[in-house]
């Protein structure tokens, strides 16, 4: 039983699900605008990037990688954890755990030099995996927001590390420590900071004042996904009871459909396109497409061909790219391409383990669970590897980040590497 429950929640949200704004362009225009300002290539301010969809359109780098591997620009040790990176205005933010303390890091994105850090006592929570923080910092305006594995929500002045406000979620929300910890990444919507953490909850991001909270439920480990439908601003969230649709202004429930996991491990974020909502779960549960109609969630399809354990699939040009299978059975996990509309499988590829990926200028940028950085075509026609470089050692479940020609990645122990991609010939 214990071996079957082997899990990590790197949400990088704990990255795991991805936003509904994506390369579908106008078709995904029902998504509420992301919290960050600017285009897709200027900053990477939160988990899964400026549009919350795991897609980078940055160009100018070459797919012709050196045979002896990419050039390492800098390395750092951040401590145990699975927090990904947010990079804004030349500053990179992440989190890690060491010697009974959790640390929020702000590094110079070009050199890896520490700008500031803040540490506090925290549990490691090595529950069948290494443990440590899984939430990714969220940068907005002059602030950066972080969530510890045991529910410490902090708003920092992002350039100095000065704490503007802090909330203990276990006390404030009257919820206990979740089995796998607090792993959601904060989402900024207007004046609200939104989280799924045993309740769907909204705080004023400037002050930390709680605006509203939903009734308690069994916590999930993904993040909240705002969207707009028929002129109403709504929130989709997957917890360990099911898919929940809420009003964004007060948290009142609009619709709910049960979608339990056998070990309470729902850890992805809903993908929303107009009235369609996709979620996926590991442990042979599978994936489902719902349609929100007249306050009801109606299933459009459901199968076991895309079972995301913790890292989300990414929606790109009508297809989902994600890892089907559980981390404890990495040899049988398959990178999978699936038609979003129909649920039909286009192809499956072995050999990458239970890794993580983003879309990078029309390519799949994959970090295998053993630390290889792989570039492949993002195409429903089949898997075609273009380039590969050794990147990290050890367990790698955290999604890489590409910004300004540099790829940032980490392993479970917190070893962080920044590599430089070759420039495209002019």
According to the model, what pLDDT value does residue 263 have? 82
**Residue 137 token pair:** 């910092």
Indicate whether 16 pLDDT > 60: no
Domain membership of residue 307 (yes or no) is: yes
Band of pLDDT at residue 29, cut at 50, 70 and 90? very low
Is residue 425 a part of any domain in this protein? no
**∠ CA 372-182-310 to the nearest 5 degrees?**
35
In the block, residue with structure tokens 């100095």: 160
- Distance of alpha carbon 47 from alpha carbon 358, whole angstroms: 11
Q: CATH no. for residue 247?
A: 2.130.10.10
Is pLDDT of 21 > 70? no
Asked if the model's pLDDT at residue 258 lies above 90, the reply is: yes
Where on the phi/psi map is residue 297: left (φ > 0), alpha (ψ -120 to 50), or beta? beta
283 located within any domain: yes
Share of the chain above pLDDT 90, in %: 79
**Nearest residue to 9 via CA among 326, 258, 418, 347:** 326
- Interatomic CA distance for residues 300 and 298, integer angstroms: 6
The contacts of residue 231 (CB under 8 Å, 6+ apart) are none
Residue partners of 96: CB distance under 8 A and separation at least 6: 77, 78, 79, 80, 81, 83, 102, 103, 105, 132, 133, 414
Rounded to an integer, what distance in angstroms lies between the CA atom of residue 294 and that of residue 254? Answer: 9
| Residue-wise pLDDT tens digits, 78-128 | 999 999 999 999 999 999 999 999 999 999 999 999 999 999 999 999 988
HEC profile of 242-307: EEEEEECCCCCEEEEEECCCCCCCCCCECEEECCEEEEEECCCCEEEEEEEECCEEEEEEEECCCC
Spatial distance between the Cα atoms of 24 and 341, rounded to a whole number of angstroms: 12
Give me the count of residues in the chain. Answer: 426
CA 285 – CA 273 distance, rounded (Å): 22
Is 426 domain-assigned?
no
Residues 245 and 255: beta-carbon distance below 8 Å = yes
Is residue 408 within 8 Å of residue 398, measured between CB atoms?
Answer: no
Assign 37 a pLDDT band (cuts: 50, 70, 90).
very low
Question: What Å distances lie between residue 342 and 287, 303, 319, 381, CA to CA?
Answer: 12, 11, 10, 16
Q: How far apart are CA 235 and CA 255, in angstroms?
A: 10
In terms of C-beta density within 10 A (0-12 exposed, 13-18 middle, 19 or more buried), how is residue 203 classed?
buried
Residue 21 structural domain: 3-420
Domain total of the chain? 1
- Is the per-residue pLDDT at 308 higher than 90? no
How distant, in Å, are the alpha carbons of 356, 379, 403 from that of 317? 19, 9, 21
Dihedral sign, CA of 387, 401, 396, 112?
positive
The answer to whether the beta carbons of residues 42 and 87 sit under 8 Å apart is: no
pLDDT at 289 over 60: yes
Residue 327 pLDDT exceeds 80: no
Query: Coil, helix or strand for 27?
Result: helix
Q: Is 260 or 374 the better-scoring residue by pLDDT?
A: 374
Question: For residue 332, what pLDDT is reported?
Answer: 78
Q: Is residue 216 part of a domain?
A: yes
Instruction: Give the whole-number percent of the chain exceeding pLDDT 70.
Output: 89
* Position 245 in a domain: yes
Beta bridge partners of 388: 374
64 occurs within a structural domain: yes
Q: How many CA atoms lie within 13 A of 281 on its CB side?
A: 25
Is 92:106 a contact under the CB 8 Å cutoff? yes
356-372 pLDDT, tens digit each? 999 999 999 999 999 99
Can you give the pLDDT at residue 329? 56
Q: Are strands 200-204 and 210-213 parallel, antiparallel or unpaired?
A: antiparallel
Indicate whether 302 belongs to any domain: yes
């Amino acid at each position: 039983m214990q071996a079957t429950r082997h899990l990590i929640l790197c949400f990088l949200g704990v990255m795991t699900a991805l936003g509904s704004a994506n390369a579908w362009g106008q078709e995904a225009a029902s998504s509420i605008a992301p919290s960050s300002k600017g285009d897709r290539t200027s900053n990477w301010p939160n988990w899964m990037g400026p549009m919350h969809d795991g897609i980078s359109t940055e160009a100018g780098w070459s797919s012709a990688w050196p045979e002896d591997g990419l050039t390492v620009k800098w390395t750092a040790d951040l401590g145990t954890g699975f927090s990904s990176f947010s990079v804004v205005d030349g500053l990179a933010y992440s989190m890690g755990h060491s010697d009974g303390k959790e640390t929020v890091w702000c590094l110079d994105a070009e050199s890896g030099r520490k700008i500031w850090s803040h540490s506090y006592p925290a549990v490691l929570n090595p529950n069948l995996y290494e443990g440590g923080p899984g939430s990714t910092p969220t940068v907005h305006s002059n602030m950066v927001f972080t969530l510890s594995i045991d529910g410490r929500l902090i708003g920092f002045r992002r350039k100095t590390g000065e704490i503007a406000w802090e909330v203990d979620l276990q006390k404030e929300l009257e919820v206990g420590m979740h089995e796998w910890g607090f792993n959601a990444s904060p989402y900024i919507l207007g004046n609200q900071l939104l989280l799924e953490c045993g309740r769907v909850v909204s705080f004023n991001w400037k002050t930390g004042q709680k605006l509203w909270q939903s009734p308690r439920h069994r916590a999930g480990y993904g993040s909240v996904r705002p969207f707009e439908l028929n002129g109403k601003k709504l929130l989709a969230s997957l917890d360990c009871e099911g898919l929940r649709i809420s009003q964004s202004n007060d948290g009142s429930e609009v619709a709910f459909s049960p979608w339990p996991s056998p070990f309470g491990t729902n850890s992805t974020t809903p993908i929303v396109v107009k009235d369609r909502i996709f979620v996926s779960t590991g442990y042979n549960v599978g994936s489902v497409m719902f349609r929100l109609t007249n306050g009801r969630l109606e299933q459009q399809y459901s199968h076991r061909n895309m079972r995301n354990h913790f890292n989300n699939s990414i929606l790109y040009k009508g297809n989902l790219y994600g890892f089907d299978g559980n981390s404890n059975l990495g040899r049988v996990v398959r990178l999978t391409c699936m038609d979003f509309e129909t649920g039909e499988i286009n192809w499956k590829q072995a050999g990458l383990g239970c890794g993580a990926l983003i879309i990078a200028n029309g390519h799949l940028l994959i970090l295998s669970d053993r630390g290889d950085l792989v570039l492949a075509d993002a195409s429903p026609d089949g898997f075609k590897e273009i380039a590969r470089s050794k990147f990290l050692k050890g367990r790698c479940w955290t999604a890489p980040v590409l910004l300004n020609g540099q790829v940032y990645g980490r392993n479970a122990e917190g070893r962080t590497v920044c590599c430089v991609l070759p420039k495209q010939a002019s």
